[in-house]
Each structure stands twice: as C-alpha cells, then as structure tokens.
Amino acid sequence: MGIHDRQYYRDEETARGGFDASGSTMITKIVVVTVAVFFLDLFIPGPKHWLLRQMASGPQDLTHPWLWWRYLTSGFAHDPEGYQHILFNMLSLWFLGRIVEAVYGSREILRFYLVAIVLGSVVQALRQFAMVPEPEWARCWGASGAVVGIVMLFVCHFPKQKLLLFMIIPVPAWLVGVLLIGMNLLGAGGVEVSLPGGSDRIGRVAYDVHLVGVVFALAYFKFKWNLGRFVPRNLSSVTKSLKPKPQLRVHDPDDDHSGSDTEGDALLEKVNQHGIESLTSRERKILEDYSRRMRQKHR
C-alpha cells in the first residue's frame, strides 16, 4: 500500500506528525484514562460504584437532554464486578489501535473513537426505547462498540496481517473481521450491563452496539471520511490564530525527498508487520518528517 492510499495525511496534526517519539500515543492515553476511571470508582466514598452508575447511559436519558453527556462517558466505564470486560477491550485497543493511529493520526483517531462511542450508545438507547418495555430498560457501559470499530479499521487496512484468535490461533485479519460481524449478527438484541447493587436487571452483551461500530468503521473506510472536516470553521480559525505563523514559507520540491519518501513507505510497512516499538529513534524521526510532509502536500 503506497502512501497516497493511506489517510493519515488528511489529519490536521501537530507539527510532530502522527507518531510521538516519546511513545505516548493517543490510543495509549485513552487506555490510561479508561483504566484510571475503573480504579477511581473503587475509591470514591458513598454508594457502591456511584461513579460508574453516573457514567452509564440508557433509554432513560433520551428525554433528559441535560443527561446526554452520558452517551459519551458510558464508553469510559466498564463492569466493576470483573476485570475481563475492561481487560479485553483495552488489550484489543492497545495492540491494534496504535497501528490504526499511525494511519490516521492522533486527532482523527480520537474523533473516530469518541463518535463511535456516542453512536453506539445512542443507537442502543433508541432500540430499547422503541422495542423494550420500560420496566426492562437497562443501562449500557463499555468501550466495546468503539473498540470493535478500531479493530474493523485495522482489518480494512491490513486484511492479510496475522492476528491471534483467542490469543492462540494465528489467522488473517480479514477472518477476524468476518467472525466479528457474524457473531454479533447472531447475538444481536442483547444489552451489555447490570448495575451492581441496584434495581437494574442483569444484562447481556450489547451486540447492537458492536454492530454500530462495525458499520461506522466500514462506512468510514469505504467513503474515506475525515471527521476533522466537520469541525466548525470558526473553531479551526481560532485554533490556527493561536499558532505562531512562519515569516517565510520555503518551497520544498518533491524531487528533493524522493529517497526519503521511499524510506518512509518502507518504515510504514515495518510498523504494519512488527509494531511501532520496532522503530529506532532515527526511524521514528524519519517517519514523523514523512508524515508531516505528506499532509502538507495534500492540504
């Protein structure tokens, strides 16, 4: 896959580009925040799991606009009665999400992740509101829909990449995508959560949320969306006005970088095969310059 087939150059990244030489990627930050919320809930005084109860979303919130923020925060809350839920989500996100971030850039991957959370939460709430009797309404939490979306983006970009199914069986990424779609279609209709200690009923997996993540990722890839384009122009203008402007813009001919471009594309393939950690400090710098140059070229 050549650089012009990749989409990260469309992101209005910071001057450092899509890679952070310090290793602190946006995906890593999302994982840290999510895990921190999980443990913070354990130490907050008051009713059991009060924080996660406040963050969970459901059809009850549709008629209360002042509570719509829960359709975002629910993606950062996980089942407090067991570690499997958050462990599986965060491991999947960390292993595959950083490679997808290398394709799209940190800002765009954050936008995709947050939009996927909101879409999944709202669709789940609307489905319950329309199809489930009110006494049986359940709240939903978890990043599964957004994580499934990230996994599907990885599958779309690297369908032949080998992944470990159940952490044991090596299979091509496209097969993981097929299994994700098939398993969630067969199980569609469940709801993910119960709220321990409360009156909420015991739930099941939110397959509908997972399917929203799948559909969103496939549409995003197919139509080459860039969510940064939906940022209000006046907001972008304010952001740009805060940045120092160079006194002189120097033209950089493409021919001067033909060798660097070849090396940059080779390094991208190295990331695809072996992960970001396989790069040396010098290679990361080359890839940062390459990423920045491609975005400037295609503005």
Q: What is the pLDDT of residue 1?
A: 41
Q: Which two tokens stand for residue 215?
A: 């559909």
pLDDT over threshold 90, residue 7: no
Res 44 pLDDT > 70: yes
| Residue spans per domain, the chain | 11-230
Cα–Cα distance between 217 and 226 in angstroms, integer?
12
Three-state secondary structure call for residue 206: coil
Look at residue 6 and tell me whether its pLDDT is greater than 90: no
List the structure tokens of 297: 């070229």
pLDDT of residue 2: 38
**CA 270/CA 64 separation, integer angstroms:** 49
The per-residue pLDDT for range 137-167, each reduced to its tens digit, is: 888 888 999 999 999 999 999 999 988 877 7
Cα dihedral 132/134/137/139 (nearest 10): 130
Dihedral angle at the C-alpha atoms of 218, 193, 67, 108, nearest 10 degrees?
-30
The model carries a pTM of: 0.70
DSSP state of 143: S
Give which of 242, 185, 225 is closest to 208, Cα–Cα: 185
> What class is the 11-230 domain?
mainly alpha
Residue 78 has pLDDT above 50, yes or no: yes
pLDDT at 190 over 70: no
- Residue-wise pLDDT tens digits, 97-145: 999 999 999 999 999 999 999 999 999 999 999 998 888 888 888 899 9
